[in-house]
A and B are shown apart, each in its own frame.
Chain A
């Protein structure tokens, strides 16, 4: 069995790295370059950098390329990419992968083209979801908070047709709370998809990571707050821990 992947996820905006809860209330937590260096020194085996910009506004390639140049492990870019030229720029500047969320639904052809030219392993999709009271998993547009028309299974089917190399599942209501992971969406897709599945939103301690690593069929987890704060509601302390 492949080694379980524990992937630090760094969220950025124009100020630097930020962190919030349930996709809101973001606060500044540090400088991307230093943080990536620290994570590499602590032995992280890969990193995701996520762009909080709504609508996929124009990317400052020089700025983000300088961050990724410090990394000696793979770095994925998570955010909306507008064109193949933007994808070329990102994948030539040192990023290994482009992960889209909203862009998957608005411009699936672009992800298909990226997968065709750079290979499936260069693409991923992040399905943001909410669990309703009756236990139903509902996909959410993270920019508006509105539910999406497609079901998770329909979206996974489209991902397979497009040739997406990896599926991320993020529970919007757990994000940043450090109260444990939710497996509802993973339960829906496991056994259906052939590509690696990574879940995120809610890791609060090593117990959460160990439980995730023992989940058959799960490739990894993304970790935000737990690697950013000393404890919930306390100061910033960047770190990395593996299983």
Chain B
């Protein structure tokens, strides 16, 4: 079985495909229900604004499929905006997210030593327990975002990073649903190792 990279018209798909090719895992770019439901795992990428992406999830017909897939217990990985869409809502827009995890996205605050958008490599520090599950997450990954996830569900925030003085959730895991704020597909060898580790969870 393959890994499906969900195509809902929001950029960054080429980078994800290249990453899975590098680590030797077969992936397809799709928005077909049968492809998605038959996958061993799915990736929800995303670049752009929350509402435009949330709208596309509906117009591309993948919103209900994602909800069904998540129920199956098979792994789902949301990357950057893909992670943010897994929450209930965003301060950035009005439309509903997928609601896999209770929370909302909030804009980062800018300071002299921490500009917004937050761009570049940043340390990801996992909880002890999550590091045992996915050791390859304890490293530096590439971030490019203006909003962060404010998580209300207890016990699902599994890794943190810093933007200047402010600490934010850089990964959450609720059962089979994992979200990461960073871009593993654009984090060099470190990112490839992380994706290998994620696929290994399957």
Contact = CB atoms under 8 A, between A and B. Distances in A.
A57 interface: no
B190 to A, nearest CB: 9
Given A2-B163, A73-B187, A45 B113 contact: no
Nearest to B22: A72
Contacts of B186: 72-74, 96
A2 to B, nearest CB: 5
B120 A220 contact: yes
Given A5-B120, A166-B119, A120 B112 contact: no
| Most chain B beta-carbon contacts within 10 A, residue among A2, A45, A94, A194 | A2
B90 to A, nearest CB: 12
A196 interface: yes
A45 B48 contact: no
Nearest to A93: B14
Q: How many A residues touch the partner, as a band? A: 35 or more
A116 B140 CA distance: 29
Contact of B189 (A5, A72, A217): A72
A69 B22 CA distance: 11
A191 interface: yes
A196 B117 contact: yes
A120 B14 CA distance: 20
A95 to B, nearest CB: 9
Contact of A94 (B18, B119, B142, B163): B18
Nearest to A163: B146
B185 to A, nearest CB: 8
16 contacts: A45-B121, A70-B18, A72-B19, A72-B186, A74-B142, A74-B144, A91-B11, A117-B48, A118-B48, A119-B146, A121-B47, A121-B146, A165-B119, A196-B117, A216-B113, A217-B113
Given A166-B119, A197-B115, 14 more contacts: A1-B114, A69-B14, A70-B18, A72-B185, A91-B11, A93-B14, A94-B14, A116-B49, A119-B48, A122-B11, A190-B112, A191-B112, A217-B113, A219-B119
